[in-house]
Structure 1
Amino acid sequence: MTPPPALINRYKWYEVLAIYCGIALFLIFVLSPFVEGFLVSLKPLSQLFSSPYRFWPQNGSFEAYRTMWVSVPGFARYIFNSFLISGSITLIVLIFVIPAAYAFARFDFKGMNVLLGGFLAVKMFSGAVLLIPLFRLMRSIGVLNTYMAMIIPGVAFIIPTGIWLLVTYIKRIPRELDEAAYVDGAGYFYTLRRVIIPVAMPGIMVVAISSFIEAYAQQFIYALTFNSKTEYMPLPVGLFAYFGRQEVIWNELMAASFVGIAPAMIVIFFLQRYLVSGLTAGAVKQ
């Protein structure tokens, strides 16, 4: 028996054309801001406000990628701080989220649904609403003007999302794996470490990627509120330094933005490779 034709071949030619045109239109809307930002980084500052506006730069160069380091001294330190803060937040989130998600997915206890709902309710509060209580807390424990002043709030606001994501994934793992481990004499922690974590690695990678991206993006408000020392400032504060009192150095700002997000994109790219490879792995992989 011959297999049925692929689903895409069942469409009429104009339906296939409409599908690809829709995909192309979506990509244009998504990628056009990045393309425009990159072209702005190649333009001289005097050309940005010329009339009529030119989309493609004349005599474009990578000069802004060189001068940006002079305009904001210590910019590399800002990138390092963002990586350190985001990496620390991601690691701490995984340490708390993995056992918590396993407990919510495998055990039934009183108040479980209420507790999960409370975690979700935390995400409904904006970080700006809690700045004053958080500032008093950071001051009382003596972590103002340190990395911890930005790591602690980041961990607190990201953990609920990580738990919800990973609980859903662990629930899809057959309970028979746990029962087989218990029959062999394994305890809960051994089962989590040697059975559940390897199988749930794709879900863990999703939590790691989302946590890293969220931590990398939300550092600005915490840094300005809980920190006054330049040596601890993250990348968003460094980008804000390109906003002068009289003008904004747009080409250097765009260049610094691309330089700043490039390391994060590289890390996410490699994590996605492990994520895709892990999606093909299962509990019965030999």
Structure 2
Amino acid sequence: MSKPPSLMNRYRWYEIIGIYAGIAVFLSFVLSPFVEGFLVSLKPLSQLFSSPYRFWPENGSFEAYRTMWEHVPGFGWYMFNSLFISSAITLITLILVIPASYAFARFEFRGSALLLGGFLAVKMFSGAVLLIPLFRLMRSFGLLNTYFAMIVPGVAFIIPSAIWLLRTYMMRIPKELHEAAYVDGASHFYTLRRVILPISMPGIAVVAISAFIEAYAQQFIYALTFNSKSEYMPLPVGLFAYFGRQEVVWNELMAASFVGIAPAMIAIFFMQRYLVSGLTAGAVK
């Protein structure tokens, strides 16, 4: 029996060329800022504003990756703060979102639709709009200049989208599994822990990755507003403090930025298998 042709073999040659050309154009727009930023980090400072402009660095080196550690003495500590804050936000978000998503996906109760709509309404507000109320709230609880001043708002703004994402995944799990566990005498907590949770791991991985990336990216505005102590500064505020006051050393700033995003890139690289399976799971159920 002959093997059926693959999906790409069903296209004509010029259609395949058009598909790959469109992908190449899309990737060029997406990746060009990262490529330019990396090349800037390799250029000496004298070449950055030379005329005519040279895209490829002449006598490029990784010297900026060494000197930026000297110009930003607390760079390692700032990276630790960013990783700690992002990891704490991700962990707390998962602890709160998993049972909430299970409840919204499996139980019908009064006000559930209103609550879900309220979660979407929260995402419509920018964090900058709520800075003053959040500042007064943090000050009244004595949380200013602490890690909690950045963790609590981060969790609050990530939870709504995380609940919607994980709830959609859990709704695709067959209800018969929940009903079978209930018939066998299992409690709701036991069913969640031993039945639903193992099946939901791809979806949980997607939520964890998205929460970590969002927490890593949104630290600047909260840290700049709610913190004034260097020992609690995350990386974005630390770089702003040293590179944003008088003169911007662009090659060192780009080098520090690429070192700063390395943990998030490493996490995505090792978790991409779960990310793809979680995003596509349930599509054929």
Question: Structure 1 regions of 5+ residues with no counterpart?
Answer: none
Compared CA separation, residues 65 and 149, structure 1 to 2 (3 A): same
Q: Is the 8 A contact 1:78 1:238 kept in 2?
A: yes
Q: Spell out, residue by residue over 1:156-213, the C-alpha distance to the aligned partner (whole angstroms, 9 max, x if none).
A: 0100010000110000000000111112211000000011011111111111011001
**Cα separation, partners in 2 of 1:159 and 1:281, compared to 1, 3 Å:** closer
Conserved in 2, the CA contact under 8 Å of 1:242 and 1:253?
no
Cα 1:244–1:224 change in 2 (3 A) is: closer
Q: Distance in 2 between matches of 1:9 and 1:138?
A: 59
Q: Flag the 1:279–1:244 CA change in 2: closer, same or farther, 3 A.
A: closer
**Count of aligned residue pairs for this structure pair:** 282
Q: CA RMSD in A?
A: 1.6
Indicate conservation of the 8 Å contact 1:44/1:251, yes or no: yes
Tell me what 1:39 maps to. 39
* 8 Å contact kept, 2:206–2:279: no
Corresponding letter in the other structure for 1:214:
E
Indicate the larger mover: 90-99 or 29-38.
29-38
Judge conservation of contact 1:72–1:241 (CA < 8 Å) in 2: no
CA apart distance, 1:264: 1.7
Counterpart of 1:273?
A: 273
| Map of 2:141 onto structure 1 | 141
Give the CA deviation at 1:243: 2.8
Query: Hey, what does 2:183 align to over in structure 1?
Result: 183
User: Which residue in the other structure is 1:2 paired with?
Assistant: 2
* Cα 1:64–1:218 shift into 2, 3 Å: same
1:242–1:252 contact (8 Å) kept in structure 2: no
Matched letter for residue 226 of structure 2: F
* Identity value in percent: 82
- The runs of at least 4 consecutive aligned structure 1 residues that moved more than 6 Å come to 277-282
Aligned equivalent of 1:99: 99
Deviations 1:70-128 (A, max 9, x none): 11111111100000000000000000000000000000011110010001100011111
1:106-185 map, 5 Å = 106-185=106-185
> What runs of 5+ residues in structure 2 fail to find an aligned partner?
none
Q: TM-score scaled by structure 1?
A: 0.95
Is residue 199–residue 281 contact of structure 1 (8 Å, CA) maintained in 2? no
Does the Cα contact within 8 Å between 2:206 and 2:278 map onto a contact in 1?
A: no
Query: Kindly tell me: are residues 82 and 121 of structure 1, through their superposed partners in 2, closer, same or farther at Cα, counting changes over 3 Å?
Result: same
- Which residue does 1:208 correspond to in 2? 208
> Counterparts of 1:140 and 1:65 in 2: how far apart (Å)?
42
